[in-house]
């Protein structure tokens, strides 16, 4: 039975038979539910904690220091 995957960027569920698997040269595997998530993480290098549409969003901002 295929298992559900979790998107590496937004944290959403990926149904079996859908999504994009991206493998880096060092063996790290990223799973993406959509092109929007893939581009945000790989091309634009965005932080998912700053976007309300992701499940990894942190209300109140990211505190540093």
Instruction: Give the pLDDT confidence of 32-42 residue by residue, as tens digits.
Output: 999 999 999 99
Give the closest residue to 55 by CA, choosing from 37, 42, 38. Answer: 37
Q: What is the mean pLDDT of residues 31-56?
A: 96
All structural domains of the chain, each given as residue ranges with its CATH number in brackets, are: 5-50 (2.30.170.20)
C-alpha neighbours within 13 Å on the C-beta side of residue 51: 14
Q: How confident is the model at residue 65 (pLDDT cuts 50, 70, 90)?
A: low
Q: What is the pLDDT of residue 8?
A: 97
Cβ contact 48:11 at 8 Å: yes
Q: Mention every residue, 6+ apart, whose C-beta is less than 8 A from residue 31.
A: 5, 6, 7, 8, 14, 19, 20, 21, 22
């Amino acid at each position: 039975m295929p298992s559900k995957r979790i998107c590496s960027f937004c944290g959403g569920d990926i149904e079996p038979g859908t999504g994009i698997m991206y493998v880096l040269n060092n063996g790290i595997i990223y799973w993406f539910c959509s092109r929007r998530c893939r581009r945000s993480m790989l091309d634009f290098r965005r932080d998912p904690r700053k976007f309300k549409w992701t499940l990894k969003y942190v209300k109140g901002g990211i505190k540093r220091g």
